[in-house]
Structure 1
Amino acid sequence: MNNKNVNANPPLWNYKTEIPKLTNLAFRALDLMYDKKSRLFVFNWDRNKRKLGPISERYSAIAAIGLQSAKLRGIDIPFSVSEILKELLCRINAMEERGPGDLALLLWAFSLLYGEIEEKVMERLIPDKKVNVLIEELRKRPVVEAAWTLSAFSYLYKNGFRNSLISQACESIADIIIDAFNQETHIFSYVSKKQGFKKILGYHREFGNFASQSYSIYGLSTYYQATGDDRALKVALNCSNKICSLQGPHGQFWWIYNVRRGTIADKYPVFSVHQDGMGPMALKKLSIVSKRDYSDFIEKSFDWLYGNNEMGISMILWEEGIILRCVQRKAPLSELSYYLNMVRSRFHLPSVKNDNQLALGGLEILNETRPYHMGWMLVFFYDS
Structure 2
Amino acid sequence: MHALAHADLALFHLTERLTALAEAGLPAMLLPGGEGVVFTRAAVRPGRAGPWRTTPRGTSDRYAAITALGVDRLPPGRQREVLGGRSAEEFTGLLIERLPGVRNLGDAALICWAAAETRHPKLSDALDRLAALDEPEGPRYTVEAAWVLSALAAARGQADVEDRLRAARDRLLTARIAGGPLFPHATGPGLLPRYREHIGCFADQTYPLQALARTHASGADPEALAAANACAARICDLQGAGGQWWWHYDARRGTVIEGYPVYSVHQHAMAPTALFDLTDAGGTDHAPAIHRGLRWMTAPPELGADAEPLIRDDLHVTWRKVYRGDPRKAVRAARGLATRVSPGLRLRPLDALYRPTSIDRECRPYELGWLLHAWLGEARG
Which category describes the TM-score, using the shorter chain as reference length?
A: 0.7 to 0.9
1:125 pairs with 2:130: yes
Contact 1:73/1:382 (CA < 8 Å) preserved in 2?
Answer: no
Instruction: Report the number of matched residues.
Output: 356
RMSD of Structure 2 on Structure 1 (CA): 2.6
* 1:54–1:94 Cα change, 3 Å: farther
Q: How does 1:38-49 map to 2 (within 5 A)?
A: 38-48=34-44
1:78: how far off? Answer: 2.6
* Contact kept? 2:100, 2:129, Cα under 8 Å: no
Query: What are the superposed Cα offsets for residues 251-294 of structure 1, whole Å, 9 maximum, x if unpaired?
Result: 11111101112211111111111111111111111111125221
1:174 alignment counterpart: 169
Report the Cα distance in structure 2 between the residues aligned to 1:301 and 1:357, rounded to whole angstroms: 25
SS at match of 1:290: coil
**Residue among 50, 65, 68 paired with 1:64:** 68
Taking structure 1 as reference, are residues 62 and 355 closer, same or farther at Cα in structure 2, changes over 3 Å only? farther
Match of 1:302 among 266, 287, 294: 294
Give the conservation status (yes or no) of the 8 Å contact 1:236–1:286.
yes
More off after superposition, 77-86 vs 61-70: 77-86
Q: What do residues 190-232 of structure 1 show as CA deviations (whole Å, max 9, x unaligned)?
A: 1123x4xx56982443111111100001000000001111110
From 372, 375, 381, give the equivalent of 2:366: 372
2:316 equivalent in structure 1: 321
C-alpha distance in structure 1 between counterparts of 2:191 and 2:35, whole Å? 39
> Contact 2:324/2:355 (CA < 8 Å) preserved in 1?
yes
Paired position in structure 2 for 1:134: 134
Q: Are 2:57 and 1:53 aligned?
A: yes
Give the secondary-structure state (helix, strand or coil) at the position aligned to 2:66.
Answer: helix
Contact 1:82 1:113 in 2 (8 A): yes
* Inter-partner Cα distance in structure 2 for 1:84 and 1:152: 17
Aligned equivalent of 1:150: 149
Alpha-carbon deviation of 1:135?
4.9
Percent identity at matched positions? 28
- Preserved CA contact (<8 Å) 1:258 1:346: no
Change in CA separation of 1:51 and 1:331 when aligned onto 2, cut-off 3 Å: farther
Q: Which has the larger displacement, 226-235 or 357-366? A: 357-366
Distance of 1:237 and 1:204 partners within structure 2: 25
Q: Which moved more, 1:244-253 or 1:81-90?
A: 81-90
2:178 and 2:252 in contact (8 A); partners too: no
| 1:311 corresponds to | 303
Letter in 2 for 1:279: A
Measured in 1, the distance between the counterparts of 2:181 and 2:39 equals 33
Deviations 1:93-151 (A, max 9, x none): 342x122x211211111222235552222221224xxxxx73526x4320111111111
Partner in structure 2 of residue 3 of structure 1: none
* Cα distance in 2 between the residues matched to 1:98 and 1:177: 18
Runs of 5+ consecutive residues of structure 2 not aligned to the other structure: 1-7, 46-53
Could you say what secondary structure the match of 1:126 adopts?
A: helix
Structure 1 unaligned regions, length at least 5: 1-11, 128-132
Q: Please list, as runs of the form range in 1=range in 2, the aligned pairs for 1:190-269 lying within 5 A after superposition.
A: 190-193=185-188, 195=189, 198=190, 202-269=194-261
What is the TM-score of this pair, normalised by structure 1?
Answer: 0.84
For 1:228, the aligned partner's letter is A
1:37 deviates by: 2.7
CA distance in 2, matches of 1:119, 1:285: 25
Alpha-carbon spacing, 1:342–1:200, altered in 2? closer, same or farther (3 Å)? closer
Whether 1:93 and 2:100 are equivalent positions in the alignment is yes
Helix, strand or coil at the partner of 1:69: coil
Whether the aligned pair in 2 keeps the contact of 1:13 and 1:299 (CA below 8 Å) is: no
Q: Label 1:33 to 1:184 Cα distance change in 2 as closer, same or farther (>3 A).
A: same
